[in-house]
Amino acid sequence: MKIRPSFHRFLAGLLVYVGLSLQAAAQTATWNGTGSGLWTETAKWSWTGTVPGTALPDAATSIILSNGGTISLKDSTQSILGLTMNNGRLEVTKESTAGILGVGGAIIFSSNAGTSSSILVDGLGSELNKTGTTQLHLGSSGTATMTVSNQGKVTSSGTIHVGLGNSAGVGTGILNVNTQGQLITTSTFILGYRGNGSMNVESGGFVKSPNGFIAGYGQDANRVQGTAAVKVSGTGSKWEVGILYVGHTGTGSMTVEDNGVVAGSSTAAIGFYNAGNATGATGPPPLTKYGTGTVTVKTSGQWQSTAVSIGTTGGTGTLNVASQGRVNVNGGTGTITVGSTGVMNIGGNPLLDAAPLAPGIVFAGAISGGGFFGTALNLYHSDFSGGYHLTKSGLSNGEHVALTSTLNLNVLSGSTTLIGANSLSGAITVGGLAETPARLVARHSQALGTGQITVKENGTLEIAPTLSMALMGTLSLEGGGALSLKVNPAGGEFAPRLNLSGWLDALVDEGEKITLYLSGGSAIENPELYDWTFLTAQQGIYADVTHLFEVVSDVPGFYVFQREDSLVLGMTSLVPEPGRLFLCGLGLSCLVLRRRRGGI
């Protein structure tokens, strides 16, 4: 059967009429109560457009609260079209039964600069449900605070902006989720888009989102940079998130502490730049527009992700893992990549913390350098006992965390042991901080990679007694630095403890020495004939270093001399000297502090 054109015209006209009728039926309700009042008090609503038969806002109504009053919704379920709040408070709570508010359109809290709004969703069964694809803005141009507590719940199927901000970067959003409160969104979740956004998940609060953009999205023509801070703290507190950006285009931070958990099911980037073209923009922004991100995992907090990149795309990134904080990368098989504008600190941050902190745990397959310069892993921790190992458990029986590529390793404080092979080609620096001893122990022949190793003042490079040979690239020794070895009682020149593919150099000021700590000397039976090549440099020795060594041992009589491209240990006596025996024991446990030059 054919439908005549006239019927098409009738049908089109009918649809237009219905659409216009629905649009005309939409209405606005403005709260006129200056104090606190119940949602169900009809006299406190002023109307524009059609008034529903109940004289209360319905699913076709957009409501406005801007006079500083408080709307209390409890013991009732209500549905509205949209919500705009400036200078007011909305409470969705429970008295005898829970309050439930459904919103099918946009929600904007503090859309005007200088305004202040607060929202409370509190109590078991109390809910604010945002449906549809329109957005929820918390702090559009003013300041807005949302608290979800005591098993209250907020859901959204549209994008959530916490600290949306305006074109001038003004606007603050604060989201507090605590005491088993929940916030669940199935869309984009952004904190500090152009303004300032913060989220605190505490005391068993729960947040779930398919993604997380902390500080900026960077898609505006003027590239206004937002700022944002996230804290997940306390037992039972958790943020389940997919792909995560910390410092996407603005400046963002995330702290996970006190048994709080951030459980990521995808990759994470710290310090990022979105290179996509912005609306109205002509080309990429200048370097000052790149994101800056900091993640701190401490005091038994846990952060999970499938892979972590730090400062790999031009943004500046920092990851701090301290005080038994735990970073879990793909169940212990994933990689943390530190880019040319990134840094990772185990323990404290040497640029910000006055003293080292206890180390954290890196449950990852590898830490890799992803840049040609500036890539750094800093060990600035307070475990001087020798118990901390760079393993997936932090213990000696843990599985090795590999160090690879262009990574630069700075051992600035504490004692750290490497138990496996590392392929890093970057530099290793041990020591260099005033009044702060640092020790790096190699327990595998290939633990030290192929780059340059520099032992500075207050630093000790130790070759574990169980290791017969350590391979390395170039070794540079500075005044106040130390080597620690166990002697070969049989002597000889075919199995030196230190085998350099590069060269040996020394930089020592007048009056300074390089300490050589030796153990196992009491096993030598013929001291007058003893001759042991303990270091060989295949590309030569670039300084006369023999007179620079001060030998501290469990027995006296050792001396160092140079033979071609090797350093050799000789011995002249077996008579113990108690004073030197004490110094040796002290040196092997912690580098003796002497005059400091200071600085990293």
What are 319-373's pLDDT values in tens digits? 999 999 999 999 999 999 999 999 999 999 999 999 999 999 999 999 999 876 6
Does the pTM of the predicted model rise above 0.75?
yes
Contact (Cβ atoms closer than 8 angstroms) between residue 327 and residue 363: yes
Contact (Cβ atoms closer than 8 angstroms) between residue 532 and residue 487: yes
Contacts of 574 (CB under 8 A, 6+ apart): 522, 524, 527, 555, 557
Distance CA 361, CA 390 (A): 8
Here the tokens at position 327 are 């970073």
Closest Cα partner for 135 from 95, 114, 105, 163? 105
Distance CA 450, CA 376 (A): 16
Closest Cα partner for 118 from 178, 179, 70? 70
Distance CA 324, CA 301 (A): 8
β-bridge partners, 414? 438
Tell me what pLDDT residue 222 has.
59
Tell me what pLDDT residue 546 has.
86
Tell me what pLDDT residue 373 has.
65
Here the tokens at position 355 are 């003293």
Tell me what pLDDT residue 590 has.
37
Angle (CA) 167 168 169, round 5°: 90
Contacts of 19 (CB under 8 A, 6+ apart): none
Closest Cα partner for 178 from 155, 207, 157? 207
Regarding beta strands 45-48 and 566-571, do their DSSP bridges make them parallel or antiparallel, or are they unpaired? Answer: unpaired
Tell me what pLDDT residue 348 has.
97
DSSP 494: S
Tell me what pLDDT residue 287 has.
44
Tell me what pLDDT residue 374 has.
64
Contacts of 172 (CB under 8 A, 6+ apart): 139, 142, 143, 144, 163, 195, 196, 197
Tell me what pLDDT residue 219 has.
55
Query: Which parts of the chain register pLDDT below 70?
Result: 1-25, 217-223, 274-289, 372-374, 573-600
Place of tokens 């709307």: 71
Contact (Cβ atoms closer than 8 angstroms) between residue 45 and residue 80: no
Closest Cα partner for 597 from 515, 516, 477, 509? 509
Q: Tell me which amino acid residue 113 is.
A: A
Neighbours of 547 (CB within 10 A): 11
Please state the φ and ψ torsions of residue 409, each to the nearest 5 degrees.
-105, 120
Tell me what pLDDT residue 541 has.
95
Closest Cα partner for 411 from 493, 345, 322? 345
